[in-house]
Structure 1
Amino acid sequence: MSPGMVMPVESRKADYDSLETQYQKGVKHLYDNGIEHVPRKYILPASERPNVVNERSRDATNHVNLKLPIIDFSELQGPNRSQVLTSLASACENYGFFQLVNHGIPHEIISNMVDVSKRFFELPFSEREKYMSADIGSPVRYGTSYNQTNDGVFCWRDFLKLVCHPLPDLLPHWPSSPLDFRKLAVRYVKEVKFLFLMLVDAILESLGLMNKKKTTEEDEDEDEIKEILKEFEDGSQLMVMNCYPPCPQPDLTLGMPPHSDYGFLTLLLQDEVKGLQIQHKENWVTVEPIPGSFVVNVGDHLEIFSNGRYKSVLHRVLVNSMNYRISVASLHSLPFKSKVQPCPKLISETNPRRYMDTDFATFLDYIKSRDSTKKSFLQSRKLTS
């Protein structure tokens, strides 16, 4: 081969840097520029691609759709509360997910939130990039993939993350375009926070921590639970708007890789485009969307708090070649500086403590240092003995 046929190292590096710069701009930018093939940076190893059938289920049951347990929020407020609490406990133990219907948030507020999210991602890149940051602790952050600093392979997602508490301090930093973005997002954030607090109350009762007929000792226990509820009122709230553009080769990549959520509960609002999958009985199953409902899932913090009774389950997102998919996830937990630990009342000789204490700073340090997909962070909190 003649010297003229060899590309100089500097030139190859420049080409690589140019491609990396394009990828850092996100998949919406790639799609808008007419990309026809998934770049190598987004192609998963063959064993991790979404069309791979689980070794233990060669009948391809991982492609079936799943109807999650349905919790009727209005029934929680009525005479059937005890039966609904039993269903809630079963869902958290056996699925780690449920769909919440009749939740009371007006349809207009929900549809406006999905609409304004779409309009944000439709803004010119020059407008969206104002909020791009490599700092995962930034209160407002536009980005791509899952963790674009550490990801070896990028995933087919762009996102806007907003820290929502304390709202008056953070609102001035939120995007001012579209013009009605802040107004609509604030209405949504407040409604979802109230719904979360009502759900936490039900979750604690479903764990047997709030009894109607109490001894003096149980009165003291319930005072402790009330203190926990007060902490949640001042707790963390993070809203993530996700955009999954059409993908030219959806079998080669994922919108989000398998992961569990680090918080206490996540309330997910999604449009009617399928994509969310959960791992159930060792298979990947697609969640059937129910218009106007929330998909609620147990986070790592609730698994720790329940001492392993309620399960934080792996989930991922598929993409497709035809439709945009928009979702809005609200992640809720205790205040960022609070300790998360197994509830003492749920620890006994037959059910010893299974997790060490943790906090948000520990989680941030973890994901800054390594890949935080799958349930790796939660595994790092487990006690071996």
Structure 2
Amino acid sequence: MSPGMAIFSEQNQQIKGDYDTSENQYEKGVKQLVDNGLHKVPKKYILPPSERPTINNEDSNVAKQKLELPIIDFSDLNGPNRPQVLQSLANACELYGFFQVVNHGITEDVINNMMDVSGRFFDLPIEERGKYMTSDMRAVVRYGTSFSQTKDKVFCWRDFLKLLCHPLPNYLPHWPDSPVDFRKMAATYAEETKNLFLRIMEAILESLGIIEDNQEENDNNILKELEDGSQLMAVNFYPPCPQPDLTLGMPPHSDYGFLTLLLQDEVEGLQIQYQGKWFMVQPINNAFVVNVGDHLEIFSNGKYKSVLHRVLVNSCKRRRSVASLHSVSFNSTVKPSPKLIDKTNPKRYADTDFETFLAYISTNETKTKSFLESRRLSYILHD
């Protein structure tokens, strides 16, 4: 039994008592505040002036134009254009840390069903959603708000539902059973994104010049580790905000893991940092925004970059997204690939695992790329 499953029932028994007091009203989520007729942003959500998203064009840190991320046509990987696509993939991971994938093979029905059932989950009464509220990061199902509703000094304008997904038969019985089709739709989506992740990683490894030995007895087969690895699905909900220039949907951060596959609706909000400026990512219908996580930067020994990104909110429209985060198992260790280390490119990161990550974020706010920087060895290598 996984650590998450072992504590799930115990956490569920504590949730109601933890979240019913009026002094913890913000911990019920930002949607609940909006549903209660909120007309201005509470102080708890107001960022210091230096951290606020400046909407006007005078802000030198915000680019006036949208960023056209590299678009990877996944169908071309199976034809004569494969070398060119692999080169485009390498360039995207090195320069941007982000790219968009089209013609990926996941049907429009699977995508639409996931977005639809996600919206209907957040439309449930707080009494139903609140069954899954917990601050424990190991829980199989975790409903919450901000990044950490028990630790953040300033909350962000986001509610979320996080689901452990792999192995699916172990976790699926614990997922929400309301809406009645939630498990079915979300399980199909989780399986499809897991398969797509593995196919993208196979291409990424080839773009790094790493040819895997697929023999089962080979302990260094990273694709095998990822196939048996972790998958966390985060369903995000950003309600309309009466004063969007005072807060953020998510603060600048990088993602834990190898890759994140993000499905977003048509409402803009995602920004990435590129060359010191914030650029808005233009949503593409039925495309996945894919970004390099901290673990892939470590594994690639710094060649592929895990990049800061954040989420803006707006005063008119609610925004939904579904992020599928993939990595090795929680009991595994991530380290730079020996195939990417030599005398001219020494090891740049310390080995890491999930326990190290939990220990770090228990005493540090999970903002910027601070955890990744804590694993960097450059201060020793003087490079």
The residue identity in structure 1 corresponding to 2:110 is I
The residue identity in structure 1 corresponding to 2:283 is P
1:88-114 Cα distance to aligned partner (Å, 9 max, x none): 000000000000000010000000000
Q: Secondary structure at the match of 2:236?
A: strand
Q: Distance in 2 between matches of 1:160 and 1:231?
A: 26
Relative to structure 1, the CA distance from residue 18 to residue 371 in structure 2 (aligned partners, 3 Å threshold; closer, same or farther) is: same
Residue 33 of structure 1: aligned partner: 36
Residue 51 of structure 1: aligned partner: 54
Q: Secondary structure at the match of 1:262?
A: coil
**Bigger mean CA deviation after superposition, 249-258 or 145-154:** 145-154
The structural deviation recorded for 1:221 is 11
The structural deviation recorded for 1:222 is 12
Asked whether the equivalents of residues 264 and 320 of structure 2 are also in contact (C-alpha less than 8 Å), the reply is yes
Q: How does 1:1-385 map to 2 (within 5 A)?
A: 20-51=23-54, 59=60, 61-210=62-211, 227-383=221-377, 384-385=379-380
Residue 3 of structure 1: aligned partner: none
**Larger radius of gyration, structure 1 or 2?**
1
1:329-363 Cα distance to aligned partner (Å, 9 max, x none): 00000111111000011011111110000011111
The residue identity in structure 2 corresponding to 1:279 is Q
The residue identity in structure 1 corresponding to 2:41 is V
| Structure 2 alignment gaps of length 5 or more | 1-19
Asked whether the equivalents of residues 63 and 284 of structure 1 are also in contact (C-alpha less than 8 Å), the reply is no
Asked whether the equivalents of residues 209 and 225 of structure 1 are also in contact (C-alpha less than 8 Å), the reply is no
Asked whether the equivalents of residues 61 and 276 of structure 2 are also in contact (C-alpha less than 8 Å), the reply is no
Asked whether the equivalents of residues 341 and 358 of structure 1 are also in contact (C-alpha less than 8 Å), the reply is yes
The residue identity in structure 2 corresponding to 1:115 is D
The structural deviation recorded for 1:64 is 2.4
Asked whether the equivalents of residues 339 and 357 of structure 1 are also in contact (C-alpha less than 8 Å), the reply is yes
Q: Distance in 2 between matches of 1:336 and 1:60?
A: 36
The structural deviation recorded for 1:63 is 3.9
Asked whether the equivalents of residues 357 and 381 of structure 1 are also in contact (C-alpha less than 8 Å), the reply is yes
Asked whether the equivalents of residues 63 and 286 of structure 1 are also in contact (C-alpha less than 8 Å), the reply is no
The residue identity in structure 2 corresponding to 1:68 is L
Q: Distance in 1 between matches of 2:80 and 2:247?
A: 47
Q: Secondary structure at the match of 1:369?
A: coil
The structural deviation recorded for 1:233 is 0.8
1:263-295 Cα distance to aligned partner (Å, 9 max, x none): 000000000000000000100110000010000
The structural deviation recorded for 1:138 is 0.8
Residue 12 of structure 2: aligned partner: none
Q: Distance in 2 between matches of 1:221 and 1:354?
A: 29
Residue 4 of structure 1: aligned partner: none
Asked whether the equivalents of residues 112 and 184 of structure 1 are also in contact (C-alpha less than 8 Å), the reply is yes
Asked whether the equivalents of residues 214 and 221 of structure 2 are also in contact (C-alpha less than 8 Å), the reply is no
Q: Distance in 1 between matches of 2:55 and 2:219?
A: 44
Relative to structure 1, the CA distance from residue 186 to residue 69 in structure 2 (aligned partners, 3 Å threshold; closer, same or farther) is: same
Q: Secondary structure at the match of 1:82?
A: helix
Relative to structure 1, the CA distance from residue 188 to residue 220 in structure 2 (aligned partners, 3 Å threshold; closer, same or farther) is: closer
Q: Secondary structure at the match of 2:185?
A: helix
Normalized against structure 2, the TM-score is what?
A: 0.90
The structural deviation recorded for 1:253 is 0.0
Q: CA RMSD in A?
A: 2.0
The structural deviation recorded for 1:374 is 0.5
1:74-128 Cα distance to aligned partner (Å, 9 max, x none): 0011111110000000000000000000001000000000000000000000000
The residue identity in structure 1 corresponding to 2:26 is Y
Asked whether the equivalents of residues 53 and 60 of structure 1 are also in contact (C-alpha less than 8 Å), the reply is no
1:311-336 Cα distance to aligned partner (Å, 9 max, x none): 00000000000001000000000111
Asked whether the equivalents of residues 210 and 222 of structure 1 are also in contact (C-alpha less than 8 Å), the reply is no
Q: Distance in 2 between matches of 1:220 and 1:69?
A: 30
Asked whether the equivalents of residues 259 and 325 of structure 2 are also in contact (C-alpha less than 8 Å), the reply is yes
The structural deviation recorded for 1:220 is 10
Asked whether the equivalents of residues 163 and 234 of structure 2 are also in contact (C-alpha less than 8 Å), the reply is yes
